[in-house]
A and B are shown apart, each in its own frame.
Chain A
C-alpha cells in the first residue's frame, strides 16, 4: 500500500496571491471562467466551478474585539477517508486511491450529480458542457510520478505543504501550538473524523465555522440507506409486482378454464 499522503493549508500563512489557483488551472488545462463578475472585492470566483477546482476565498471579518481580519481560505476537495461522493456514486466512477486521493474517473462518470448532492462540503461541480462531474484530484498523476501537487509546488508563502499524512499532521500540530502562543486560543487542525479524516488538512487560527466549514461533517447515512435498502427494495417491489401480476394472471386463466369445464 502506498503511503498515505496529505496536503496542508496553513490559513495563517496564506497571503492570497492565488498562484495556486493559476497553477491548478495550468496543470489541469482548465480555461478561465469568463463570466465571473467584478463585485468590488478582491474575491475572484464566489464558489468552485466545473473549471475552478481550487479557490482562495477571501473573507473580511471583524472579531468580537472589533479587530479587523482578512481570512484567506483554500477551498477545494477535502479528499475524505470515507468519501461520500465515491460511496454514493451509482456508476462507481469515483475511486479513493491507496494514498488517499479521491479521483473521478471521467470515462465512467455519467454526470448524475449524486456526488454533488452527497458531498458534506458541497465540492463536486457538474460541468454541463462536458456532462461530467469535476473536482480537485490532488494531482494524483503528478504524485504517481513522484512530484507534488501543482498548487503546493507553486506556493510562495509555504502556506500549502505536501507530504505524508503523518508528517503533515505533525507539522499542523506544531503550527497550531505556535498560533496558540501568538494568542489564537481557538487555533486548531481541521481533520473531521465524521468523514473518516481528510487528506486536505487545514491549520485554522479560529474555529472552523469562521471559515464556513461544518464543525462536524458526516458521511451521510442516506447513502447506505439508498445503496443497501432503497435500491434492492425498489427492485424487489418492481420485479415482485411484475411476477405477482403474471402469477395472478395465470391463476385467473386456470380458474376460468375450470369454470368453462364445469
Chain B
C-alpha cells in the first residue's frame, strides 16, 4: 500500500508502540541502576534518592516484561515477522554482514544482495535483544523474588549475569541508534508512523518489496511511481537504485 505518494506501509502502529515502549523502558532501567554499575553515576542516587530509583527500576521492569507479552496481541503481526525473519537467517544475510560495515563509515560497498524485511544485521540485533531480554528477565526476577526461595549459590550468579546483559544491551542499542539515525535516517520513519520511503525500501529491502508485489499488495508500477516521486531530493545518498 502506497501512502502519501512515496511511502510504503511497513509496520502497524501496535508494533511501533511495542518498539518505543521497549526502548524507553530499557533506557530507564539502565539509568535507574547505573549507580550500582559505575561509581561515576553515584550522583543519580544522591539526586533522586536510592529508594526512588530502585522503586522506579521495578516499575519499568514490569513494563519491560509485560510489553512483549501484551505485544503478542497488540503487535501480533510485527512480532510474528520478527520471529520468521530471525529463523530464516541465510546466505544472503551472511554476505550482507560481511559487506555492509563499509557503509558505516560512508562508503558504498558493491554487491550487497537484496535483503528481506530485515537485513542480516537487523536479524542479529533482534536475536541478541530477544536473548538479552530473556536473560535480564530471569536474572532480574531471581534477584527480586529469590530471597528465601532460590539458593544463595544460584542467586549470587544472577548479579554478574544481569549486569553483563545490561552492558551488552546498551552497546547494541547504541549501534542500533547510530544505524537508524546516522546511517539510514529513512528507516526511522518506519518507527514513527509505520511507513518508509519506497526508494529506501527498494534499496535496502529489495526482497521484501518483491514479496509485496508477489502478494499483489503493490504493483511494480506503483513502486516505480513512488520511487520517482522521491527523485528530486537534494541528498544524493538516499536516491533510489533503478528498479
Whether A251 and B163, one on each chain, are in contact in the complex, defined by CB atoms closer than 8 angstroms, is no
Q: Is the C-beta of B36 less than 8 angstroms from some C-beta in chain A? A: yes
How big is the B interface, by class? Answer: 35 or more
Q: Which residues of B contact A231 (CB under 8 A)?
A: 37-38, 163
CB-CB under 8 A for A233 and B167, given A47-B148, A117-B156, A220-B157: yes
Chain B contact residues: helix, strand, loop or mixed: helix
Q: Which residues of B contact A131 (CB under 8 A)?
A: 50-51, 54
Q: Is the C-beta of B233 less than 8 angstroms from some C-beta in chain A? A: no
Q: Which residues of B contact A110 (CB under 8 A)?
A: 35-36, 45, 50, 54
Whether A251 and B160, one on each chain, are in contact in the complex, defined by CB atoms closer than 8 angstroms, is no
Whether A222 and B105, one on each chain, are in contact in the complex, defined by CB atoms closer than 8 angstroms, is no
Whether B160 and A249, one on each chain, are in contact in the complex, defined by CB atoms closer than 8 angstroms, is no
Q: Which of A32-40, A70-78, A238-246 contacts B (4 or more CB under 8 A)?
A: A238-246
Q: Which residues of B contact A248 (CB under 8 A)?
A: 104-105, 178, 182
Q: Which residues of chain A (223-262) have a CB below 8 Å from chain B? A: 223, 225-226, 229-231, 233-235, 237-238, 240-242, 244-245, 248-249, 251-256, 259
Q: Is the C-beta of B158 less than 8 angstroms from some C-beta in chain A? A: yes
Q: Which residues of A contact B171 (CB under 8 A)?
A: 237-238, 240-241
Question: In whole Å, how far is B185's beta carbon from the nearest beta carbon of chain A?
Answer: 12
CB-CB under 8 A for A226 and B159, given A122-B152, A245-B182, A255-B105: yes
Question: In whole Å, how far is B100's beta carbon from the nearest beta carbon of chain A?
Answer: 12
CB-CB under 8 A for A120 and B182, given A111-B51, A230-B167: no
Question: In whole Å, how far is A48's beta carbon from the nearest beta carbon of chain B?
Answer: 10
Closest-by-CB residue of A relative to B172 is A241
Q: Is the C-beta of A88 less than 8 angstroms from some C-beta in chain B? A: yes
Closest-by-CB residue of B relative to A223 is B156
Q: Which residue of B104, B155, B167, B175 contacts A117 across the interface (Cβ within 8 Å)?
A: B155
Cα–Cα, bound, A90→B156 (Å): 14
Q: Is the C-beta of A197 less than 8 angstroms from some C-beta in chain B? A: no
Q: Which residues of B contact A242 (CB under 8 A)?
A: 174
Whether A220 and B175, one on each chain, are in contact in the complex, defined by CB atoms closer than 8 angstroms, is no
Q: Is the C-beta of A113 less than 8 angstroms from some C-beta in chain B? A: yes
Cα–Cα, bound, A225→B167 (Å): 14
Q: Is the C-beta of A121 less than 8 angstroms from some C-beta in chain B? A: yes
CB-CB under 8 A for A117 and B158, given A111-B50, A230-B167, A234-B37: yes
How big is the A interface, by class? Answer: 35 or more
Q: Is the C-beta of A116 less than 8 angstroms from some C-beta in chain B? A: yes
Closest-by-CB residue of A relative to B178 is A245
Q: Which residues of A contact B167 (CB under 8 A)?
A: 230, 233-235, 237-238
Q: Is the C-beta of A84 less than 8 angstroms from some C-beta in chain B? A: yes
Q: Is the C-beta of A188 less than 8 angstroms from some C-beta in chain B? A: no
Whether B152 and A112, one on each chain, are in contact in the complex, defined by CB atoms closer than 8 angstroms, is no
Q: Which residues of B contact A88 (CB under 8 A)?
A: 156, 159
Q: Which residue of B143, B163, B174, B236 contacts A113 across the interface (Cβ within 8 Å)?
A: B143
Cα–Cα, bound, A5→B159 (Å): 32
Q: Is the C-beta of B107 less than 8 angstroms from some C-beta in chain A? A: yes
Q: Which residues of B contact A223 (CB under 8 A)?
A: 156, 159
Closest-by-CB residue of A relative to B49 is A131
Whether B163 and A120, one on each chain, are in contact in the complex, defined by CB atoms closer than 8 angstroms, is no
Q: What sequence of 0s and 1s flags, for each residue 121-163 of chain A, a beta carbon within 8 Å of any chain B beta carbon?
A: 1100000000100000000000000000000000000000000
Known contacts A111-B51, A112-B54, then 20 further A-B pairs from the complex at CB < 8 Å, ordered by chain A residue: A90-B35, A110-B50, A116-B147, A117-B152, A117-B155, A120-B152, A122-B148, A222-B156, A222-B160, A230-B164, A233-B167, A238-B174, A240-B171, A241-B172, A242-B174, A248-B178, A249-B182, A251-B104, A252-B105, A259-B106
A-B contact pairs, 27 of them (CB 8 A): A90-B39, A110-B54, A112-B54, A117-B156, A117-B158, A118-B155, A118-B159, A122-B152, A131-B51, A220-B153, A226-B163, A230-B164, A233-B164, A233-B167, A234-B163, A238-B171, A238-B174, A241-B170, A241-B175, A242-B174, A248-B105, A251-B104, A251-B106, A255-B107, A256-B237, A259-B106, A259-B236
Interface residues of B (CB under 8 A from A): 35-39, 45, 50-51, 54, 104-107, 143, 146-148, 152-153, 155-160, 163-164, 166-168, 170-172, 174-175, 177-178, 182-183, 236-237
A-B residue pairs, 3 tightest by C-beta: A234-B167, A255-B106, A252-B106
